[in-house]
């Protein structure tokens, strides 16, 4: 019998899931055995999975599970042991990130396989499932909130926390806007992609003027002096090749308007980083890193799981995108399906 194992998450503040109870039921109805680990932080309570027929197992028990199961998760796994199973999650190890060599060695030594969710692509090379829209939406929201707090000369921008409805975010931002003495202008790079569309959507919902840039506007190559002419800059481009940076210290001065950078793509430890102004991912507790460049102050948002601020909406969207391909993996062509074979090919190339 085909089977899949939804594991718990180890990353702090992670409430999202790649498999909702609704889609778990669809798999069960087609004869797939679905195991779900107990995980109190998951946005969908465990009883919702149990009610649709999932087998409930203890948190972290995938490590002792039969290797026939596909282990499905979302974010990185924290463990020192070698990997023996077939894993599906965002691993962040294929662009030379910190610790990536060690993790790939764990797969090589243990004989496991990694199907990285970022590298599930179709015949045209396009990703088949992504949190992009909600990452951009939340990245713009938190960046805008940071701007309003900085306008009040707050010594630090408050910690962020999840909400279950986008209208809560929008209402809060409109209230901050009404109390503000100025209205910022924003620029979004990658505006035609799902992530950029999400960022632009948020700004438009709260009445912020947004400049939308994509391939046409950036093909001349950066750095772009137009960026510091805006108060907020949102980067939504997921880099696959190295290009000249979008922004550099040389184009920032005391005359710059730029106050907030929201780096939604968030890849500071990669050589492909188009915003070489910072070198570490930020956290929910301290979402912004402050920089002074040429006597000009900037705050940079670099949280790498922004969609978890809207865990229900983003999980439902992502799970619906992923579901037909899970179905193909478990009940169709299996790993020969183009989406899964593409991801496996990337893994084997990077692992070796």
Which region holds residue 237: left if phi is over 0, alpha if psi is between -120 and 50, else beta? beta
The one catalytic residue among 13, 15, 86, 92: 92
Distance CA 328, CA 339 (A): 9
Q: CB neighbours of 204 closer than 8 A, spacing ≥ 6? A: 210
Sign, CA torsion 219/224/226/232: positive
172, with CB counted inside 10 A (0-12, 13-18, 19+), is middle
Which residue in 344, 346, 307 sits closest to 11, CA to CA? 307
Q: Which residues of 76-103 are buried (b: 16+ CB within 10 A; e: fewer)?
A: bbeeeeebbbbbbbbbbbbbebeebeeb
Q: CB neighbours of 170 closer than 8 A, spacing ≥ 6? A: 141, 202, 205, 206
The one catalytic residue among 75, 87, 230, 325: 75
Q: How far is CA 26 from the centre of its chain?
A: 26
SS3 content of the chain, % helix, strand, coil (to 5): 35, 15, 45
Distance CA 3, CA 30 (A): 11
Is 153 annotated in the active site?
no
Distance CA 134, CA 131 (A): 6
Is 87 annotated in the active site?
no
Which residue in 147, 138, 137, 143 sits closest to 180, CA to CA? 147
Catalytic sites, residue numbers: 75, 92
């Amino acid at each position: 019998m085909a089977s899949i194992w939804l594991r718990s998450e180890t990353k702090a503040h992670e409430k999202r899931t790649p498999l909702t109870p609704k889609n778990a039921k669809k798999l069960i109805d087609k004869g797939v055995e679905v195991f779900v680990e107990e995980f109190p932080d998951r946005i969908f309570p465990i009883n919702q999975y149990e009610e649709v027929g999932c087998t409930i197992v203890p948190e972290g028990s995938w490590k002792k599970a039969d290797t026939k199961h596909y282990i499905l998760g979302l974010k990185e796994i924290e463990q020192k042991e070698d990997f023996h199973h077939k894993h599906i999650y965002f691993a962040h190890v294929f662009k030379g990130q910190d610790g990536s060599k060690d993790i790939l060695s764990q797969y090589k030594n243990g004989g496991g396989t990694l199907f990285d969710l970022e590298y599930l692509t179709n015949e045209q090379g396009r990703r088949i499932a992504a949190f992009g829209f909600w990452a951009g939406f939340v990245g713009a929201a938190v960046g805008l909130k940071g701007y309003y707090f900085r306008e009040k000369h707050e010594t630090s921008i408050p910690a962020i926390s999840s909400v279950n409805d986008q209208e809560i975010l929008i209402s809060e931002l409109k209230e901050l806007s009404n109390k503000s003495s100025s209205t910022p202008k924003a620029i979004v790079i990658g505006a035609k992609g799902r992530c950029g569309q999400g960022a632009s959507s948020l700004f438009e919902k709260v009445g912020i003027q947004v400049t939308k840039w994509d391939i046409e506007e950036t093909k001349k190559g950066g750095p772009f002096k137009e960026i510091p002419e805006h108060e907020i800059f949102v980067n939504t481009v997921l880099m696959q090749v190295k290009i000249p940076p979008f922004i550099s210290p040389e184009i920032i001065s005391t005359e710059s308007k730029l106050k907030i950078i929201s780096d939604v793509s968030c890849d500071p430890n990669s050589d492909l980083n188009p915003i070489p102004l910072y070198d570490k991912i930020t956290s929910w507790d301290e979402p912004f890193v402050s920089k002074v460049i040429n006597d000009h102050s900037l705050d940079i948002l670099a949280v790498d799981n922004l969609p978890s601020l809207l865990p229900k909406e983003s999980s439902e969207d992502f799970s619906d995108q992923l579901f037909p391909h899970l179905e193909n993996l478990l009940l169709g062509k299996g790993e020969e399906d183009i989406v899964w074979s593409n991801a496996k090919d990337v893994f084997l190339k990077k692992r070796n």
